[in-house]
Structure formats: structure tokens, C-alpha cells
Chains A and B, each alone.
Chain A
């Protein structure tokens, strides 16, 4: 056995062909066989056995044995070759599947960078880069939000002046409005990505509503942490909460209708049509209606924040925004803890 054949054999063993080491080697080996006819039954080369010449008999037996061994070895080697080829075929399929998964993950922005260029996988370069940009900008947004939350905390503790606090509050509000602007761009790039919530942490996704947090829930988070409200403030907050919920309900019902329309669009078409391009184009147009909904939901979030800041004093607004910032921070921390929890033994 030469060294290259040995390497081939070892490689085939790693591929899962479990040949015991003591077997002879790869099927290619038998090209070098010194026996002229390894597979064909003997046709009289050796002749019929002659009982009256024991030494000839022994030699004949030896030859028969050797031929049988050769046949057996050749048979085994053919089986190994077959198994090897089957292994190659299934590995090829697995590779194709992995490539498709990678493609999907890149579409969702989960796998950014790496050695592969987007164009090699064949997905839209612009959509991908738009989402990558959004993810990066959102990351920066979160960092800045945490910084502003800390700033609010120390400002409230140190009781800064009457002029500085409103400026801080306005800065925080504008930061939220920045997020809505970021999301508007991302919605135009890939609304399905935005609505999936993959850009948020797992715990935040629990409370997801049309691309973000539910405005009425926001009010519930803020109110316990503020200084006591005046009667008028109490009434105003109550009315705002009610209006917010009514608006949310209306949008939710609109989403249900859109959902139905989309299901019908995808299901439409007679049997045997396969995938028809004009129908797909119409469905994609309907998907774009989602962009309007996400924008409308963000508009509702923005208006809710604005109205709250009108009702509350700067002190109360600062307290509310601090509570909100800490709430989101806690949700993100919960997500980290959740994903890092030890898996239970099965």
C-alpha cells in the first residue's frame, strides 16, 4: 500500500465509512493487482484437478483459494466505493442546505460580514446593506439611550436647575424621535425585517406591537414613577390613555384586515398554476402596505410621548423618561439572562 492510497483511506474513514483498519485499502488498489483474472471464474487455465498428482492438487487448491480471496476482496472494495459515493452525495446536499440557511440568515441581517460577499449568495446587495446600516445605527442608539438614562438619574438625584432639566427632557424626547426616523428608512428598505423584531432582544419581542412598543403600555410604565399628579393632570393622563388605546385598537383591526388580504393573495390562483409572476408582483405590492402601518404606529408612539410631555411638568417628564429608559434596560438584561441560562438535562 503506498502512502497516497493510505491517506485516501484515512480520509474515507473520516467521512464515516467505518472500515476496520486491517482491511486492504481503497478500490483503486486493485489496478495494481498482479493476478491476471481477479474476477472471472477460471476457464481451464488451471485445468481440472488430477487426483493422481497430490502436489499439483495442492497447487491447484492454492490457486482456487487465492482466486476466491481476490473475488471476495474485489466485491468488498466495490461495496466500499458505493458507500463512499453515497456519502459524497449526501454531503453535497447538506452543503446546499447550509448555503440556503446562510442566505436566509444574511437576508434577516443575523449574520453580518464574514468572508462571503452578498452578491455571491445572490441576494439584493442594497437591501442587505440598508439593514446592516440600520442594525449598526440602532446599536449606537441603544448606547446613547443608556447614557441619557444615566444622565437623567444623576440630574434628578442632584436636583439640577430649572433650566437644565427641560433641556435634558427635550434631548431625551428627540432621541426617541430619531429612532422613529431610523425606523422609517428601514421600513422602506425591508418592512418584513422590521416587523419581525429580530433587531430587538427576545424579551422586548414579547411585547412587540406593529414594529415596536405599545404606546398605551408605555403610559402604564411611566405613571407609577412620577410625583403625584394634580387632578387636572390625572384627568388628562386618563383621557390620553383612553385615546391611545382606541387608536391602537383601530390600527390592530386594520392589521387584521391586511393579514386577511395577504393570505388571500398568496392562496389565490387555480391548482396547477405554480408560481405566477404577475400574482406575486401584486402580493408584493400588498406587503408594502405594511410600511404605512409601521409608520403610523411610530407616529402614534411619537404623539403619545409628545402629549405626555405637554401634560407633565419637566420634573415629572424626567422621572417618567428615566423610568422608561430603565424599563427597556431591564428588558434587554432579561433577554441576556434568558439566552445565557444553563440548558436543562434531558
Chain B
């Protein structure tokens, strides 16, 4: 969906979230811990939220939130982020966007 892709490409590190989703909150905490300031977009505060939700699912993000984009590319949801981090690959991906 255009809006999803547009927002993702505008921001280096992007998390699509819902304000009630505590797992989304956990992911944003992890990113901040790693020295990154992600742009968090709450779908439930967006009038197009439902469409964006469906679009994320179509793009292969399951569950739809949290949906993490780095450099405009969909990385995945919590499972993918955690796996990457334990392998040590997440930090490499986030490197360009880290605020010292």
C-alpha cells in the first residue's frame, strides 16, 4: 500500500504499531537500547489504520504489528527482530541509523 511504503521510505527505522500493543512497545524499547530512535506510527491513531493493517499482512508481516522497516525494507515482526538480534545481525542493519 502506498501510504505504508511512503512512510517506510521516509524514515530510516520505522515501526508500525498500535498504542495498545505492548509487544510493539517492547520492540521500540529494544531499538532505543541499541542507540536508535525509531519512528513509531500508531495504526489505531490513523484513519487509514485498518487498510494499512491489511497491507502489512499482505506484505508478509505476521502478526501485522509490530512491523519493522529498516531503510525502507520490511524486516518483519517480533520473531524476525529477535532472531536477527541474537545472531548479531540486527546491530549491523541498524548501524547507519544509530545516533551516537
Contacts and interface: CB of A to CB of B under 8 A. Distances in A.
Interface residues of B, number: 20
A interface, how many residues as a size bin? 20 to 34
Interface string A231-259: 00000000110011011011101110110
A59 interface: no
A289 interface: yes
Nearest to A240: B86
Given A258-B22, A296-B82, A250 B27 contact: yes
B99 interface: no
Chain A, interface SS category: helix
Contact of A251 (B21, B26, B79): B26
B87 A250 contact: no
Nearest to B27: A250
Interface string A289-304: 1001100100110011
Interface in B4-34: 20-23, 25-27, 29-30, 33-34
Contacts of A96: none
A304 B86 contact: yes
Interface in B66-98: 78-79, 82-83, 85-88
Contact of A261 (B20, B29, B86, B88): B20
A263 to B, nearest CB: 13
Contacts of B79: 296, 299
A307 interface: yes
A268 to B, nearest CB: 14
Interface of B: 20-23, 25-27, 29-30, 33-34, 63, 78-79, 82-83, 85-88
11 contacts: A240-B86, A246-B34, A247-B82, A250-B26, A254-B22, A257-B25, A299-B79, A300-B86, A303-B86, A307-B86, A307-B87
